C-alpha cells in the first residue's frame, strides 16, 4: 500500500511483465499526447508493444488509432487481424472476434492485393473457426481456409509459414473426408517448407517435419482402417524416419512429443528393440522441470517391455516412473497391477493404495499427448 496515495496495489509475478509493458505504452501515450505529437507510427509501435505483452484487446485499440490516421495502409489492418486472432484464441475461439479478424485481413487484402500475409492470416482464422464445427459445416469452412492459403503460396512461393499452414489444412481436410489425394498434397506442402528452410532455423524445420509426421500418421491410420495393411506399414516406416528428421535438429526443436511419437511408431510396427531405444532417448531428453513427461515415457516403455515378455524390466521401468514423478497416480496404479500379476500382493496393494490416495487428492499434472495425433 502506498500511504501517500491511499491506494493498495497488488501484483502477482505472472502479470508483472504484462503490466510493465502496458504501463510503458501508456506512459508513452501520455507523454506524446501532452506534446500533441502522436502519429500513426507511434500508435502502431504501441500496438506492437501491447501485442508482445499479450494485451491483445489494448493492442487492437492502438492499431485502430493508427488506422484512423492512415486508413489506406494495409499493413496496419494485417497486424490488427493478428491481434484479433490471438484474442480469439485467448478467449476460447470466440466467433465474433474471429469474424473481426477475418474482416481486418480482408481489408488488408483489398488495400494491398500483392501481400501474401493477409491471406495466410485469413486461412489461420478460418481453420480456427472450423474447430468449433462438425461434418459438412467444418469441411466447408476448411475448404475456404484452403482457398485462402493457396492464394498466399501463389503470391509468395517462398513463404514458409504459409506452406506449413497449407500442409496442416490439407491434412485436416484429408482426415475429415478420407481423401487420400489431399494427404499427398499435404505431404508435398510440408516437403516444400522443409526444402525452403535453412538448417539453422531449427524450430521452423521441426514444425514442418512434425507436421509431415502427423500427416503420415493420419494416412497410415486411414489405410489401416481400410485394410490396406502392407501400405500402412510402409507409411508408418516413413513416419518413423520423419520423426528422426525432427529429432536430428537438436535441442532447439520442440522435440519432446516428437520423441514420444517416434517410440510409439516403432512399437506400432512391432520393432520393439527400436522402440525401447527410442523411449530411452526420450527419457534422457526429459527436462528436470517436467517430471510428468519422464513418467509417461517410462510407463509406455514398461508396456512395450511387458509385450516383449520382459516382466522384470517392465517393473523396473514403472519403478523409475514413480521415482521420476512421485505424484503420478497412473504410474503407481500400473506398478501395482504388474506387482499383482507377478504375485507380489503386499507390494501391489501398497502401490495401489498410493495411487488411490493420489487420485483422491488430485495427482500431479500429466504431460498431454495422444497416441495417434488424430485431430477431431
DSSP calls for 184-204:
HHHHHHHHHHHHHS-TT-HHH
Could you tell me if residue 368 is inside a domain?
yes
Could you tell me if residue 210 is inside a domain?
yes
Cell of 137: 459445416
One domain for residues 376 and 287 = yes
Last residue of a domain, one of 205, 239, 254: 254
Cell of 253: 526443436
Query: Residue 254 region, left (φ>0) first, then alpha (ψ -120 to 50), else beta?
Result: beta
One domain for residues 371 and 324 = yes
* Confidence at 264, pLDDT banded by 50, 70, 90: confident
Cell of 144: 475456404
Could you tell me if residue 200 is inside a domain?
yes
Range list of β-strands (E), 149-241: none
Total domains in the fold of the chain? 2
CA nearest 166: which of 140, 192, 141?
192
Checking if the pLDDT of 243 tops 90, the result is no
CATH of the domain at 354: 1.25.40.10
One domain for residues 241 and 308 = no
Residues 262, 238: contact at Cβ < 8 Å? no
The separation between CA 146 and the C-alpha centre of its own chain, rounded to angstroms, equals 20
* pLDDT tens-digit series, residues 89-120: 988 778 899 999 999 999 999 999 999 999 99
Calpha distance 211→222 (Å, rounded): 17
Checking if the pLDDT of 367 tops 60, the result is no
* Confidence at 281, pLDDT banded by 50, 70, 90: confident
One domain for residues 168 and 249 = yes
pLDDT for 6: 40
One domain for residues 238 and 185 = yes
pLDDT for 373: 37
Could you tell me if residue 370 is inside a domain?
yes
Mean pLDDT of 25-52: 76
* Confidence at 32, pLDDT banded by 50, 70, 90: low
Could you tell me if residue 19 is inside a domain?
no
Could you tell me if residue 136 is inside a domain?
no
Residue 270 burial (C-beta neighbours within 10 Å; 0-12, 13-18, 19+) = exposed
pLDDT for 255: 59
Could you tell me if residue 300 is inside a domain?
yes
Could you tell me if residue 81 is inside a domain?
no
Calpha distance 260→118 (Å, rounded): 35
Mean pLDDT of 53-81: 96
* Confidence at 50, pLDDT banded by 50, 70, 90: very high
pLDDT for 22: 57
Calpha distance 306→328 (Å, rounded): 20
Domain that holds residue 293: 283-376
* Confidence at 188, pLDDT banded by 50, 70, 90: very high
DSSP lists the bridge partners of residue 7 as 2
Amino acid at each position: 500500500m502506498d500511504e501517500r496515495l491511499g491506494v493498495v496495489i497488488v501484483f502477482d509475478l505472472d502479470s508483472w511483465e504484462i503490466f510493465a509493458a502496458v504501463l510503458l505504452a501508456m506512459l508513452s501515450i501520455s507523454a506524446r499526447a501532452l506534446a500533441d505529437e502522436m502519429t500513426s507510427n507511434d500508435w502502431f509501435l504501441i500496438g506492437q508493444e501491447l501485442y508482445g505483452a499479450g494485451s491483445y484487446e489494448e493492442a487492437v485499440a492502438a492499431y485502430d488509432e493508427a488506422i484512423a490516421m492512415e486508413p489506406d495502409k494495409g499493413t496496419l489492418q494485417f497486424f490488427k487481424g493478428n491481434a484479433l486472432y490471438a484474442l480469439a484464441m485467448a478467449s476460447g475461439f470466440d466467433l465474433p472476434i474471429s469474424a473481426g479478424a477475418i474482416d481486418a485481413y480482408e481489408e488488408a487484402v483489398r488495400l494491398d492485393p500483392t501481400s501474401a500475409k493477409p491471406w495466410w492470416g485469413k486461412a489461420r482464422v478460418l481453420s480456427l473457426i472450423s474447430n468449433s464445427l462438425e461434418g459438412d459445416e467444418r469441411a466447408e469452412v476448411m475448404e475456404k481456409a484452403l482457398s485462402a492459403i493457396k492464394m498466399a503460396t501463389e503470391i509468395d512461393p517462398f513463404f514458409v509459414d504459409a506452406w506449413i499452414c497449407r500442409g496442416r489444412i490439407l491434412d485436416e481436410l484429408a482426415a475429415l473426408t478420407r481423401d487420400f489425394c489431399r494427404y499427398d498434397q499435404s505431404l508435398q506442402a510440408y516437403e516444400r517448407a522443409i526444402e525452403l528452410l535453412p538448417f539453422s532455423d531449427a524450430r521452423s524445420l521441426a514444425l514442418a517435419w512434425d507436421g509431415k509426421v502427423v500427416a503420415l500418421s493420419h494416412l497410415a491410420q486411414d489405410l489401416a482402417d481400410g485394410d490396406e495393411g502392407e501400405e500402412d506399414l510402409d507409411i508408418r516406416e516413413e513416419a518413423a524416419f520423419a520423426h528422426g528428421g525432427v529429432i536430428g535438429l537438436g535441442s532447439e526443436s520442440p522435440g519432446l512429443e516428437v520423441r514420444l511419437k517416434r517410440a510409439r511408431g516403432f512399437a506400432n510396427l512391432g520393432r520393439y528393440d527400436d522402440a525401447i531405444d527410442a523411449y530411452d532417448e526420450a527419457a534422457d531428453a526429459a527436462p528436470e522441470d517436467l517430471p510428468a513427461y519422464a513418467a509417461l515415457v517410462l510407463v509406455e516403455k514398461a508396456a512395450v517391455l511387458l509385450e516383449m515378455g520382459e516382466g522384470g524390466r517392465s517393473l523396473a521401468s514403472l519403478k523409475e516412473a514413480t521415482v521420476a514423478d512421485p505424484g503420478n497416480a497412473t504410474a503407481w496404479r500400473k506398478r501395482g497391477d504388474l506387482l499383482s500379476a507377478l504375485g507380489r500382493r503386499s507390494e501391489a496393494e501398497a502401490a495401489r493404495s498410493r495411487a488411490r490416495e493420489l487420485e483422491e487428492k488430485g495427482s500431479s499434472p500429466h504431460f498431454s499427448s495422444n497416441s495417434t495425433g488424430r485431430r477431431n
